[in-house]
Structure 1
Amino acid sequence: MRVNRISRAHTRTGAAALAVAALAGGAAAGAGPAAAQPRAAAPAPQCSAAYRIEQKLANGTTWQMCWRYEGKAGLVLEDISYQPPGEAKPIKVLKSAKLGQIHVPYDDGKNEYDDLTSYFFGAGLLGMAPGECPGGTIRTVKVPDALDPANANVKGLCTTTRARGHAYRMQGDTPGKVYQKQGSDLLVYTVNQVGWYEYITEWRFQDDGTITTNVGATGSLAPADYDAGDGRGWPIGKGAKDYSTSHNHNVFWRLNFGLDGSSKARVEQYDSKVSPPARGQGPTNKTTRTKVTKELAGDSKNMRWWRVISNEGKNKDGHPRSYEIALGPSNPYSGRAYSKHDVYFTEHNKCEQYASNNPLNCGAGAGKSVDKWVNGQTLKNPVTWVNIGFHHIARDEDQQPMPVHWQGFSLVPRDVTAMNPLTPAELAGENGRPRDGS
């Protein structure tokens, strides 16, 4: 069981950091990634240098943010801004971003875990060797309320850059002239141990303004969960003796947008419907927009998506800035009300911090999970919750150690800039309808 694994975690990390804790931050272990020189008009993130991440990527885009570390959620990123080439100052994107829960129910109904709020996710921060952060910097994190104060400082926060491949390619009708650019990302990640699992919490900040976040589960299959074959597991090892119990990983993220520096924002839902051919024409596709004015528990469907829109700023074309929520592959878990839905939009309440088993007292009748907080309030300062589920049916290849299986989503800029932020200078005039023959 997980209790046994906790003692093993103590041996491996050198610290029995198991206490649930208040908020705390980390101290820098050394110089961070190469930093851009901000323009005079550009506001710096509201944190000290030790808690600041600032990176200018190869194509000229700069990301800035602050970081801190919570006793339950682990890594928290705040005051996140993005400045691509051609913009005079950083564009504020997110006020805060963090994990909102990792809910792990087992198929046999005997075990169900809330890893952030009940099983010491934050306290389970693991140290990283330089090889786990290639080309980057590993910062020291002060783990809140570690049981062994001598080992409370963990070199466990990696910031580095990584090539992404093609950012774009355009040849068109001019084979002698190819426009192409290779993209790069700023990566920020930690590794946390809960029981036999180790979770890699990764944030990728692309040079085109996209933010992608993933949680990767690795480590080991829990040996105490071998059920000898009751139909809810998979045979692991020789013959059909040991069966690893199947289970879900329901990962929640909590996002508080701060587009253009304001937490006030609008939410819209888009649905497209394809109609069959009629009167000699091909099929038609009509997209409708629904303004989400009240709290919502949203379900993903084919050709459905949501965006969060700035109330404060527009791009140079006069279009309101927004970010689209692009969900990754998911298997929502129907066993609990809070894990049935893919997204939630709730009105901001600082007490509502974790999607399930929320430990804070939010008042009589408030409930302990995100589904209870969708109660008809008007959205003025919306908080976005994203739930990505993975049903883990083990396989022989899961041992030993277990390959990483990833689950996550992206935040894609929609009208944040007037053109592709990486547009080459000679195409800067190609905004709107292209010239004939171009």
Structure 2
Amino acid sequence: MTEISAQPPLQAAHPLAMYLAHEFQTAQSVLDEAGHLGEAVRFVSVLPEEPEKAEILKFRDGDRVDRRMRILLLDRATGDSSEAVVSITRKTVDYFRRISTEVDGQPPILTEEFEVVEEILKADAGWAKALARRGLKPDAVIPVSLSAGHFGYEDEAGRRVIRSLGFHQPQKGDQWWAHPIDGLVAYIDLIDRSVMKIIDDELVPVPQESGNFQDPDYAGPARTSLKPIEITQPEGVSFSVDDGLVTWENWKLRLGFNVREGLTLHQISFYDRDQQRDRPVVNRASIAEMIVPYGDPSKVRFWQTYFDQGEYLFGRYANSLELGCDCLGDIHYIDAVVADKFGGPRTIRNAICMHEEDYGVLWKHSDMFLGVNETRRQRRLVISFFTTVGNYDYGFYWYLYLDGTIACEVKATGVVFTSGYPEHGREFATQIAPGLGAPFHQHLFCARLDMAVDGQRNAVDEVDAVRVPVDARNPYGNAFGRQVTRLRSEAEAQRHADPSRNRVWRISNPDVLNRVSEPVAYDLIPEGLPTLLADEQSSVAARAAFATRHLWVTRHADDERYPAGHLVNQHPGGMGLPAWTSADRCVDGEDVVLWHTFGLTHFPRPEDWPVMPVDSTGFTLKPAGFFDRNPTLDVPRSGGAGHCGGPSGSASH
């Protein structure tokens, strides 16, 4: 196995190139010179301010590149928040505004704010009293601080609030998720550094069983029966990476990374060898938001709902991936640079992993009459990153296949969020170990797919399988058909999946026909698992309206990037997709963006404790008349004794 590394260029040559360390330093200096910084001012997020799509589409090598960043600032002493757009190229502040936190919502939560909660609670007499009621001391309790949501509380309006649960840590190094302190929560003002309220409800015994899965005394001795698996590519990898531009087989795309979305894919195209041209498929693909709503309605947990992007910025917590652990094979790693709390560059080593995988049979046919026995192997390019947000770890995998298919898979693992489990039980939780509960919850992701199926003008149809009744045209009842419904407006294009009807959404280009005179197209194939299960009157349904539908289609707008809105933390909701689609713009033969909600509904199991095996969810984009014939006829036979082809080995069946 070999590890391939690449050094970034000193200056970006493309408007979508990943940002470099010196560019963060420049943005920091520009804001400082403009008088917008101070001792207590923190950089909450620094995001690429991508050029307008029209500008990107007309860009040619050698054109002038104006590199800009969008920056959220928070004064931790006063709570004042602001937003700026800085041109790194011109060294100017192009835009600056003060944020009205009561109206606009709060900037995402800083890591240092989680850290200061422990100091606040340890100094609070009410917290100490509630712990003493349970026979615990503050020094042995780990506060787990979580986003507050929005419930219309007057005393929280405009204030920067966080809520904190407690977990007992008997000894340093112990896994505190095993010992939740149930029936107790603190509401904290992060600016005043004060405890606003303590809710001390029922007394539930603190579970005592250890959760130290990393300890051999708890987990048991490692098994010795697994034999090594080695993956080698003696001639090296089949892809190349040049300043973020990836070329693999017929695919081309550009990589991006930012602190909010993590990995982003841009300008995905496929070279059609029959037509001898690069054909665009997707302008930009990302996971644009995710929501983890919990289903425990108790007094101390009803508010538990997390936007891991909009409230926490999950790109910030991207892991440094390790060869042989997170990635296996001949690996190309790419570092990502994000801003630290002072605006300086912080490099996440090996943030993105890229490699090839064998994926079984691509196509095969054995014909005894012709004496043909042909097999070709499928292969895919894997582009991935992992992030850890609190107790959960999420792996995001984008797959490109030889046959033009694109897929996205999210792998959820880590430690389930725990609660106490009293003798009388919990209606909305599972007992996963003696006295230890785990509330029901969901992990819902929203993919933003700025489509470009052979051009910028696309249409979307809902395609269903339908039964055909016995009648004159179907006298034997064996026929079944297909129902195609054009989604013409943003209101019509708010849809639910229906696996019972084999429902897919077909994105076509009405201006480009294939050789059978049908518009070239790709199908978005959903898993069709549940969307948001919270009641439509709930706070989370208002704040995460995107998660109430499997599909939204919007007319492209450069400033419509996040489905729950730009500022999510403590916002009452209604922003993002509900606001944009209220205009009910035409999406029939327009520049369209698909927003696809997918994810997991998790009723935790004992097998998920003390660390959860990976659970997966995702979706697929599959060519549907995009090509005139199978685009993999030129894939060569593989090696091996039979060379995957030749005379048929069977004379009869």
TM-score normalised to structure 2 length? 0.54
- CA shift for structure 1 position 309: 0.9
Equivalence for 1:83: 271
Q: Is 1:377 the counterpart of 2:585 in the alignment?
A: yes
Equivalence for 1:235: 431
SS at match of 1:236: strand
Residue type of the alignment partner of 1:298: R
Judged with a 3 Å threshold, the aligned counterparts in structure 2 of structure 1 residues 218 and 24 are, in CA distance, closer, same or farther, namely farther
Q: Is 1:334 the counterpart of 2:533 in the alignment?
A: yes
SS at match of 1:164: strand
Q: Given that residues 183 and 206 in structure 1 are in contact (C-alpha distance below 8 angstroms), is that contact kept between their aligned partners in structure 2?
A: yes
Equivalence for 1:287: 482
Equivalence for 1:160: 355
Q: Is 1:198 the counterpart of 2:223 in the alignment?
A: no
Q: Given that residues 23 and 71 in structure 1 are in contact (C-alpha distance below 8 angstroms), is that contact kept between their aligned partners in structure 2?
A: no
Equivalence for 2:464: 271
SS at match of 2:243: helix
Judged with a 3 Å threshold, the aligned counterparts in structure 2 of structure 1 residues 329 and 289 are, in CA distance, closer, same or farther, namely closer
Residue type of the alignment partner of 2:494: A
Instruction: Write the distance in 2 (CA, Å) between the matches of 1:209 and 1:316.
Output: 18
Unmatched runs of 5 consecutive residues or more in structure 2: 1-41, 51-235, 297-301, 535-540, 637-653
Aligned mate of 1:54, from 236, 247, 255: 247
Aligned mate of 2:558, from 335, 345, 350: 350
Aligned mate of 1:245, from 439, 446, 466: 439
SS at match of 1:338: helix
**Mapping of residues 389-404 of structure 1, within 5 Å:** 389-404=599-614
SS at match of 2:358: strand
SS at match of 2:546: helix
SS at match of 1:325: strand
Equivalence for 1:3: none
Instruction: Write the distance in 2 (CA, Å) between the matches of 1:119 and 1:81.
Output: 32
Q: Is 1:35 the counterpart of 2:223 in the alignment?
A: no
Instruction: Write the distance in 1 (CA, Å) between the matches of 2:293 and 2:527.
Output: 21
Q: Given that residues 283 and 452 in structure 2 are in contact (C-alpha distance below 8 angstroms), is that contact kept between their aligned partners in structure 1?
A: yes
Q: Is 1:96 the counterpart of 2:279 in the alignment?
A: no
Q: Is 1:170 the counterpart of 2:170 in the alignment?
A: no
Instruction: Write the distance in 2 (CA, Å) between the matches of 1:374 and 1:340.
Output: 14
Residue type of the alignment partner of 1:390: L
Q: Given that residues 550 and 598 in structure 2 are in contact (C-alpha distance below 8 angstroms), is that contact kept between their aligned partners in structure 1?
A: yes
**Range that drifts further, 149-158 or 160-169:** 149-158
Total equivalences in the alignment: 380
- CA shift for structure 1 position 285: 2.0
SS at match of 2:524: strand
Query: Identity percentage over the alignment?
Result: 21
Judged with a 3 Å threshold, the aligned counterparts in structure 2 of structure 1 residues 23 and 424 are, in CA distance, closer, same or farther, namely closer
Instruction: Write the distance in 1 (CA, Å) between the matches of 2:531 and 2:598.
Output: 7
Q: Is 1:313 the counterpart of 2:512 in the alignment?
A: yes
SS at match of 2:426: coil
- CA shift for structure 1 position 222: 2.7
Instruction: Write the distance in 2 (CA, Å) between the matches of 1:158 and 1:200.
Output: 11
Residue type of the alignment partner of 1:334: L
CA RMSD of aligned residues (A): 2.8
Q: Given that residues 290 and 309 in structure 2 are in contact (C-alpha distance below 8 angstroms), is that contact kept between their aligned partners in structure 1?
A: yes
Residue type of the alignment partner of 2:508: I
Judged with a 3 Å threshold, the aligned counterparts in structure 2 of structure 1 residues 209 and 18 are, in CA distance, closer, same or farther, namely farther
Q: Given that residues 446 and 546 in structure 2 are in contact (C-alpha distance below 8 angstroms), is that contact kept between their aligned partners in structure 1?
A: no
Aligned mate of 2:317, from 124, 132, 139: 124
Give CA deviations for 1:281-314 in whole Å, capped at 9, x if unaligned.
Answer: 1243232222222111011122322111124434
Q: Given that residues 338 and 345 in structure 2 are in contact (C-alpha distance below 8 angstroms), is that contact kept between their aligned partners in structure 1?
A: no
TM-score normalised to structure 1 length? 0.80
SS at match of 1:394: coil
Who wins on radius of gyration, i.e. which is larger? Answer: 2
Instruction: Write the distance in 1 (CA, Å) between the matches of 2:43 and 2:605.
Output: 30
Ranked by relative contact order (alpha carbons within 8 Å, sequence separation 6 or more), the top structure is: 1
Judged with a 3 Å threshold, the aligned counterparts in structure 2 of structure 1 residues 163 and 138 are, in CA distance, closer, same or farther, namely same
Equivalence for 2:496: 299
Q: Given that residues 251 and 389 in structure 1 are in contact (C-alpha distance below 8 angstroms), is that contact kept between their aligned partners in structure 2?
A: yes
Residue type of the alignment partner of 1:274: R
Q: Given that residues 33 and 54 in structure 1 are in contact (C-alpha distance below 8 angstroms), is that contact kept between their aligned partners in structure 2?
A: no
Equivalence for 2:253: 65
Q: Given that residues 546 and 597 in structure 2 are in contact (C-alpha distance below 8 angstroms), is that contact kept between their aligned partners in structure 1?
A: no
Judged with a 3 Å threshold, the aligned counterparts in structure 2 of structure 1 residues 122 and 111 are, in CA distance, closer, same or farther, namely same
Judged with a 3 Å threshold, the aligned counterparts in structure 2 of structure 1 residues 226 and 425 are, in CA distance, closer, same or farther, namely closer
SS at match of 1:153: strand
Equivalence for 1:21: 46
Q: Given that residues 358 and 369 in structure 1 are in contact (C-alpha distance below 8 angstroms), is that contact kept between their aligned partners in structure 2?
A: yes
Equivalence for 2:619: 409
Instruction: Write the distance in 2 (CA, Å) between the matches of 1:305 and 1:34.
Output: 32
**Range that drifts further, 393-402 or 109-118:** 393-402
